[in-house]
Amino acid sequence: MAKILVITSGKGGVGKTTTSAALGTGLALRGHKTVIVDFDIGLRNLDLVMGCERRVVYDFVNVINGDATLHQALIKDKRLENLYVLAASQTRDKEALTQDGVGRVLDELSQNFEYVICDSPAGIERGAHLAMYYADEAIVVTNPEVSSVRDSDRMLGLLSSKSRRAERGEEPIKEHLLLTRYDPTRVDKGEMLGVDDVEEILAIRLLGVIPESQSVLKASNQGVPVILDEHSDAGQAYSDAVDRLMGKEVPHRFIDAQKKGFLQRLFGGR
Amino acid sequence: MSQDQDAVFQLKGSMLAITLLELARYDLARLERQLADKVAQAPKFFDNTPLILALDKLHDASIPVDLQKLIAICRQHGLQTLAVRTDRQDDMTLASELDVPVIATSSASGRALEPSDEASQGEVARPSKVIHRPVRGGQQVYAQGCDLIVIGPVSPGAELLSDGNIHVYGPLRGRALAGIKGDGKARIFCKELNAELVSIAGRYKVAEDLRRSPFWGQGVHISLTGDLLNIHRL
Ligand SMILES: Nc1ncnc2c1ncn2[C@@H]1O[C@H](COP(=O)(O)OP(=O)(O)OP(=O)(O)O)[C@@H](O)[C@H]1O
Ligand SMILES: [Mg+2]
């Protein structure tokens, strides 16, 4: 049985899709058979970030409605053996997702994969609810600003009360905090919340801190998950986060605004 | 190397409401009957209720006790034995075989407790509602007819309601309304006052007023005298 991970946030545009693509790719890189499912029906972002938008024939809604089998709809990544994408429909809206339908598809995926990553849409409405409902673990993507932290807090409340695990009284969803678009210089100037502030308010385990980075936009424009850009700070930070997800102890990087020394600049900072 | 900087656990001291069953006579048949009666009176009280089983008040301390049977009877009636209080070596041996912790006999006697499902039974103490996780924005918790204890933070946008007192062992950043059925003696305690609103028996203060208190951000207790909410440092 696969582990079902939801990448969620409440607030829009914080980096859920970027994170889904990066973590999914990172898990596949480490040899785990992984599928990333786009729950953002009507927008379809994930396939662009993954660079497979020209190969989408059938999507999630087609599978739910029985117009296509999972086998037909799954798109195999062209770089990695173990990685698949289930795209969202562009022509439908979120009402096309039903609880039963989502449950059936996730069930079938669970039998064939080790990890199922659910890229949630923004908000706390139907689409976001269905993306987290069946999850075993949740990665709550948060930007270091008050409104994003509030929305994440609210989402954490829903995870602990409105998920299948909560309804059945099972062990609660395991919650992780991923702080993204982190800019230590702006934190120092007091323009953004610091890691400690966010951790203190949300009171959940910190999975990682992803720095604000040019490399993210560059990667998504090229349709290459940023984690494959091993020289980029964001790519390295995502890679650390995947290691922590697998249970490794890895120190946090990119948290402090350090002026890199000459030698560090030459040899690449650690 | 700072490999071990993320603690995998946290030890926290806490005071929880735990029922004490002091056995006066070792008569299992009567115990069963009397427990069944109590359960019939207050079924909600006997729902996986944590229990300490005290054997140190037995009238005849020489009679051996079948601890396993005793615990089983309690369990059948919705009482989960967490520990046994005793001073007899035989009980201790049995308890350790059953993997049940032993608490040494103390002079603390505890008040007699009548389990009750009724909200207002006068002087009778009711077990508090205890929440062990953070209360998040958008969530509401109501302790009907009893105190509310939250062990963890209360987020902005969260709402705590209680007919009695409210205790928050963590920062209070949301709303806390104590004594909502009109009990002006109710109080609010918290480790860090950052509340959006506090209210006792309908008299309230919002964040704008609270921020002016010298104790904003600190451990406080809040009480009502007349129409006035007082904020005291803990
Ligand atoms: N670490 C980062 N540094 C710089 N830009 C980033 C970073 N992470 C995400 N972005 C940018 O932020 C924008 C939103 O990212 P993304 O689409 O991943 O967010 P989302 O949470 O999925 O949004 P939505 O709620 O609309 O689904 C994108 O333009 C992306 O390139
Ligand atoms: Mg997205």
Residue A142 in tokens = 């948060």
In angstroms, the CA B166 to CA B178 distance is: 6
Specify the CATH number for the domain of residue A66: 3.40.50.300
Cβ–Cβ of B6/A150 closer than 8 Å? no
State whether B51 and B135 are in the same domain.
no
pLDDT for position B64: 84
The predicted pLDDT at position B120 comes to 46
Instruction: Answer yes or no: is B62 within a domain.
Output: yes
pLDDT recorded at residue B82: 84
H helices present in chain B, as ranges: 28-41, 67-76, 89-97, 207-210
Pair B220, B139 in one domain: yes
Q: Number of structural domains, chain A? A: 1
C-alpha angle A95-A101-A105 in degrees, rounded to nearest 5:
125
CA-based nearest residue in chain A for residue B136: A157
% of chain A surpassing 90 pLDDT? 87
What confidence score (pLDDT) does residue A21 get? 98
Contact state of B138 with A251 under an 8 Å Cβ cutoff:
no
Q: How far apart are CA B229 and CA B204, in angstroms?
A: 7
Q: If you measure from the C-alpha of residue A15 to the centroid of ligand 1, how many angstroms do you get, rounded to a whole number?
A: 4
pLDDT digits (tens, 9 = 90+) for A85-95: 999 988 777 77
Selected residue of A11, A147, A154 to mutate for chain B interface (largest B Cβ count, 10 A):
A154
For residues A169-185, average pLDDT: 96
Residue of A nearest to B6 (CA): A249
Residues near A59 by Cβ (< 8 Å), separated by ≥ 6?
A: A38, A73, A86, A87, A88, A89, A90
CA distance A205 to chain B (A): 9
Model pLDDT, residue A269? 44
**Within this chain, do residues B85 and B139 fall inside the same structural domain, yes or no?**
no
Q: Which of A6, A8, A9, A17 to mutate to test the pocket of ligand 1 (most atoms within 8 A of CB)?
A: A17
What is residue B50's DSSP assignment? E
pLDDT over 80 at A185, yes or no? yes
The domain in which residue B62 lies consists of: 19-104
- Is residue B122 assigned to a domain? no
Q: What is the mean pLDDT of residues A105-127?
A: 96
CA distance B78 to B50: 9
- Domain hosting A96: range is 3-267
Give the Cα separation of A237 and A28 in Å (integer).
Answer: 17
What sign does the dihedral A235-A236-A241-A244 (CA atoms) show? positive
Give pLDDT < 70 ranges for chain B: 1-4, 12-17, 105-124
What is the pLDDT, as a whole number, of residue B71? 87
pLDDT at position B109, please?
A: 45
- pLDDT score at B106: 55
Q: What is the mean pLDDT of residues A5-32?
A: 97
Q: Which of A66-70, A162-166, A258-262 has the lowest mean pLDDT?
A: A258-262
Asked if residue B229 and residue B172 are part of one domain, the reply reads yes
Which tokens sit at A85? 């994408």
DSSP assigned state of A90: S
A21: closest CA among A39, A8, A35, A32?
A: A35
Q: How confident is the model at residue A193 (pLDDT cuts 50, 70, 90)?
A: very high
Q: Are A192 and A183 in contact (CB under 8 A)?
A: yes
pLDDT at A115: 98
A contacts of B48 (beta carbons < 8 Å): none
Q: How many domains does chain B have?
A: 2
Chain A partners within 8 Å of B137 (Cβ)? 150, 153-154, 157
Query: For chain A, what is the mean pLDDT?
Result: 93
**Hey, how many other C-beta atoms are within 10 angstroms of the C-beta on B123?**
6
- Chain centroid, CA B171 distance in Å: 19
Same domain, B141 and B203: yes
Residue B73 is predicted with a pLDDT of 87
Determine, yes or no, domain membership for B137. Answer: yes
pLDDT for the residue numbered A270: 42
Confidence band (pLDDT; 50, 70, 90) for A151? very high
Does residue B148 share a domain with residue B218?
A: yes
Do B169 and B79 lie in one domain? The reply is: no
Q: What angle do CA A263, A264, A265 make, to 5 degrees?
A: 90
Asked whether the predicted pLDDT for residue A247 surpasses 90, the reply is: yes
> Looking at ligand 1, which atom is closest to the CA of residue A19?
18
Q: Which long-range contacts (C-beta less than 8 Å, at least 24 apart) are formed by B24-32?
A: B24/B57, B24/B58, B24/B59, B25/B58, B25/B59, B25/B60, B26/B58, B26/B60, B26/B63, B26/B65, B28/B66, B28/B69, B28/B70, B28/B73, B31/B70, B31/B73, B32/B73, B32/B77
**B13 domain-assigned:** no
Residue B19's pLDDT is what? 78
Residues 6 or more apart in contact with residue A212 via CB below 8 angstroms: A181, A182, A183
Please tell me the predicted confidence (pLDDT) of residue B112.
55
pLDDT band (50, 70, 90) for residue A263: low
CB within 8 Å of A93: residues ≥ 6 apart: A41, A42
pLDDT digits (tens, 9 = 90+) for A27-78: 999 999 999 999 999 887 899 999 999 999 999 999 999 999 999 999 999 9
> With a 6 A CB cut-off, is A40 part of the ligand 1 pocket?
yes
Q: What is the pLDDT averaged over residues A79-106?
A: 91
| pTM tops 0.80 | no
- Does pLDDT of A224 surpass 60? yes
Q: Tell me whether residue B177 is in a domain.
A: yes
E strands along B64-181, which residues? 79-86, 102-104, 129-131, 140-143, 148-151, 159-162, 166-172, 175-178
Mark yes or no for CB contact A157/B137 under 8 Å.
Answer: yes
CATH number at residue B148: 2.160.20.70
Please tell me whether residues B135 and B190 are part of one structural domain: yes
